[in-house]
A and B are shown apart, each in its own frame.
Chain A
Amino acid sequence: MARLTRRELLVAAGIATPSLIVPRAGYGAAAFPAKPINFIIPYAPGGGFDVYVRLVGPVMEKYLPNKVSIVPVNIAAGGGNRGVAQLYRSRPDGYTIGIINIPGMFILQQQQGSGAYDLTKFSWIGTMGEGERYVISVGAKSPLKSFADLKALSAKRPVKLSVTGPEGTAYAATMIGTQLLGIRTQLISGYKGSVDYVVAAIRGDSDAVIAAIPTTMRFVRGGEVRILASFEAHSSIPGVPDATALGKPELDQISVERLIGAPPGLPAPVQNLLASALAKSLADPAVTKWAKDNDIRMTPHTPAQTAQLIAQQRAFFDKWRKYLATG
């Protein structure tokens, strides 16, 4: 640990008493967990990340020994910065874990130069399933019928794309995606949240929109939106060209990952215990049914895979650094 904060000293003082009685060696996986586990969500209640935690949390309790509860803690300040910083500074004892938005936190760090935490140093527990890939789509009433139509429009004039503010992950996805595909754009930016900017395309504010698959699929089912192309390496949507077909396999790397991490220095037994509880809960019928209904793939990642994933994402977004939060 880099340096102790006052908070940690206080917590340490509180915990010191029982740990004098129980020898340090006995403090391991066998005793863990002995009290409720705090699950930090660096956003306000009700958002996408919050829902994942509130949905998976109670299921995860089932797969932990000693019948402890998992308490969702929303720390929504500084665009998520404070929650992640607090997670990073917490005691690495397994009683504080959190959900982290990648590339959201990359963008935030790059923009604000925050040095309060190092995203690659967390003790990873896993992910909330597979990262969400993006698709490019238009409103049902749009004259654009295919990706070729979109390219043709781009040849004539810049394509208007609705998008969140530059701090949003959708903004980065849109910037990088259009750059890779060679589409000239004029962004209509500043929509709040991951749904509003899709609705903007339905309403006709913009020509097209690049959004995550689960969000888009909701509107596809309602007949409001038509998908022109998928950024997946292998399209999961029938009849839609994918990144391979478009000749830009790199598009598959644009995703929103929901990583579950603990402070650096988490003991391996505790890490494994939490990781296996998370993996089991993602395979639980309660979660898989919900995931299936919402076009989400709940494939679990091991701690090692998660660490690899973040390194990969770091490299990818470093390459496209200039398109993150360009204000």
Chain B
Amino acid sequence: MLDMWLHGIEGLLQFRELAFLALGMFIGLFFGAIPGLGGAAALALLMPLTYGLEPFTALALSGGVMGGVPMGGSITAILLNTPGSAPNAATAIDGYPLAQQGKAGLAIGAAASANSIGGIIGTVSVLAILPVAKNIVLLFGPPEFFLLALLGLVIVSTTSRGKLLRGLITGGFGLMVAFIGYNDVSGGERFTYGIEYLWDGVHLVPALIGLFAVAEMINLYVKGGSVANNAASVKITKMTSGLMQTFRHWPTVLRGSLIGTVVGAVPGVGGVVASFLSYSMTVQAAKEQDRDSFGKGNIKGVIAPEAAINAKDCSSLIPTLAFGIPGGVEMAVFMGILIVHGMQPGPLLLVDHQVEIYGLIWALTASCVLASFTGLMLVKPLSYVTLLDAQILAPMVLCVAFAGSYAIDMTIENVIVTAVFGVIGYLMVRFDYPRLTIVIALVLGASAERNFHQSMLMGDGKWSIYLNRPISAALLAATIALLVIPVVRAMLNQAANRKILVEKEAA
């Protein structure tokens, strides 16, 4: 196997391959930064170009694109609260407040290094598990998937500190929206109210562009001024300080990378789940006094999702390559490129095309690191965006956001969804409802319901199906523990306080 790894590297270290890798990385970076456009659009654009290339070169190009996208996405998420691609929405939660404090450089620097390290850890894990990857994918059937989704929803909704009730409400609203469209299990459409567009459900990316980008632009319109409140502090940001942050918070990086790797390997779960889970788990793991600063510009809130996104990109190759089940649109388009080059995703791909696949994995990692360096170079000039006058910035950003939203699948209704969710997002900020839970509910709602019904069909309507399978039982236990532990902890705290109080009175 080792010689296959080396063959993969060897193949990549040719001038032509490296040139295409770099080209792909720049395109990925650029497309990643523009809301609505992402890896899928970039790969679809490049697909005809790859016809003329050797399969290996085509993979170097694709790997370059996929490695560059997350970095591009994090830049706009931090500077403008506009997630360039969906998973970066989690980065915006703490990255944008940092930009508002004039620390955009710090945040981008941390994102860049977290990106690289996440990508490398993801690669190492994928290389380690690739030989047994097939078995891992087969462990996740409908019961496991349903409980995983449930666990994700619980983790995220217990994250927003002091906003449990409103977090649950936005989560519930997200679920209600997620059920719109085709009913996969028993057929027919639901809650479409005669609108053809809604047959396919409310599309996620236009909704996210609305919730984050448009909501913030409305806020800027109202507030005036610029993104950063303090012009002086923007100028002194150094790119190296952000870089160091990542090394200082290595447990966060490690946790994020591992979550990314695991989530990526589960078929049909996208990067949004990886980044939001990583963010939530980091908040949950934080020390008591540290927790309140999340959502207000905690650098760990930037590192956690960024590490997860890139690690996930690597491991999501597993279900895509081994079975041909893409985890998202980007992977679906990438599968198209593979097929056109005579590499049919399926159990035999990992046997027949080992050199190409290892080459692809290396390309993805190399592009990740390269994109981070490029991102770091851009820190300083890009930071000035946060000083632009809101009255100029907002219209320009909105133009790109709306056009990008339309471009996702050339449907004008996307623009309406973006506008509606922009207003909803603004109201959520204005009336203090957390946005974390609505995103995760939008992403997981429909598949959670589908997998629930499928599990019940599999188990002849008996609930015991969730207990009879080891992984699903473990997931169920984890979910219950997560719900019970905070309550127990609170009760113990209260008891301890009372004891101290009693002792004080006694003294």
Contact = CB atoms under 8 A, between A and B. Distances in A.
Question: Shortest 4 CB-CB distances between A and B: which pairs?
Answer: A327-B187, A222-B347, A46-B332, A166-B187
Contacts of B185: 165, 189-190
23 contacts: A45-B40, A45-B44, A46-B329, A46-B331, A74-B44, A75-B410, A79-B182, A81-B199, A164-B184, A165-B184, A188-B454, A191-B184, A191-B454, A193-B325, A195-B325, A199-B323, A203-B138, A218-B344, A218-B346, A219-B347, A290-B342, A294-B339, A327-B188
Contacts of B409: 44, 74-77
A223 B346 CA distance: 11
Interface in A61-80: 73-79
Given A203-B141, A218-B324, A222-B347, A166 B329 contact: no
Contacts of B331: 46
Given A165-B185, A199-B325, A218-B324, A50 B268 contact: no
Interface string A143-170: 0000000000000000010001111000
| Chief secondary structure at chain B's binding surface | helix
Given A50-B336, A165-B184, A218-B324, 8 more contacts: A44-B329, A45-B47, A78-B196, A78-B197, A82-B196, A189-B184, A195-B324, A326-B187
B500 interface: no
Contacts of B340: 51, 54-55, 290
Contacts of B188: 111, 166, 325, 327
Given A46-B332, A196-B267, A221 B184 contact: no
A205 B142 contact: yes
B478 to A, nearest CB: 22
A54 B336 contact: yes
B400 interface: no
Contacts of A76: 200, 409
Given A46-B333, A224-B347, A200 B200 contact: no
Interface in B360-381: none
Interface in B303-362: 323-326, 329, 331-336, 339-340, 342, 344, 346-348, 351
A189 B450 CA distance: 9
Interface in A186-227: 186-193, 195-196, 199-200, 202-206, 218-219, 221-224
B38 to A, nearest CB: 12
A28 interface: no
Interface residues of A, number: 55
Contacts of B197: 77-78
B457 interface: yes
A188 B347 contact: no
B363 to A, nearest CB: 19
Contacts of B325: 193, 195-196, 199
Interface of A: 44-47, 50-51, 54-55, 58, 73-79, 81-82, 111-112, 160, 164-167, 186-193, 195-196, 199-200, 202-206, 218-219, 221-224, 289-290, 293-294, 325-327
A205 B141 contact: yes
A172 to B, nearest CB: 11
A55 B200 contact: no
B141 A222 contact: no
Contacts of B238: none
A54 B48 CA distance: 8
A222 B322 CA distance: 10
A275 B329 CA distance: 32
B200 A77 contact: yes
Contact of A160 (B141, B142, B336, B458): B458
Contact of A74 (B51, B199, B410, B450): B410
Given A75-B410, A81-B196, A195-B324, A219 B187 contact: no
B267 A218 contact: no
B324 A58 contact: no
Contact of A167 (B187, B332, B413, B458): B187
A69 B177 CA distance: 41
B454 A45 contact: no
A78 B458 CA distance: 30
A291 B423 CA distance: 50
Interface in B86-143: 137-138, 141-142
Contacts of B186: 166, 189, 327
Nearest to A73: B410
A153 to B, nearest CB: 15
B287 to A, nearest CB: 41
A15 B340 CA distance: 35
A98 B115 CA distance: 41
A65 B453 CA distance: 54
A190 B346 contact: no
Contact of A196 (B182, B199, B268, B457): B268
Contacts of B268: 192, 196
Contact of B200 (A45, A79, A219): A79
B191 to A, nearest CB: 14
Contacts of B464: none
B187 A325 contact: yes
Nearest to A75: B410
Interface in B396-421: 409-411, 413
B342 A218 contact: no
B199 A78 contact: yes
B183 interface: yes
Nearest to B412: A77
Contacts of B333: 45-46
A90 B51 CA distance: 29
A291 B331 CA distance: 22
B308 to A, nearest CB: 23
Interface in B155-173: none
B348 A190 contact: no
A139 to B, nearest CB: 10
Q: Which of A164, A199, A221, A326 has the most CB of B within 10 A?
A: A199
Contact of A45 (B182, B183, B196, B332): B332
B348 A221 contact: yes
Nearest to A188: B457
Contacts of B329: 44-46
A193 B51 CA distance: 25
A103 B411 CA distance: 25
Contacts of A224: 347
A308 B183 CA distance: 34
Interface string B182-214: 111111100000001101100000000000000
Contact of B457 (A47, A166, A187, A221): A187
A218 B332 contact: no
A192 B145 CA distance: 13
Contacts of A187: 457
Nearest to A162: B454
A175 to B, nearest CB: 11
A10 to B, nearest CB: 16
Given A165-B187, A190-B184, A54 B47 contact: yes
A166 B188 CA distance: 8
Nearest to B40: A45
B203 to A, nearest CB: 9
Nearest to A187: B457
Contacts of B141: 200, 203-205
A164 B185 CA distance: 8
B342 A293 contact: yes
A187 B184 CA distance: 12
Contacts of B184: 164-165, 189-192
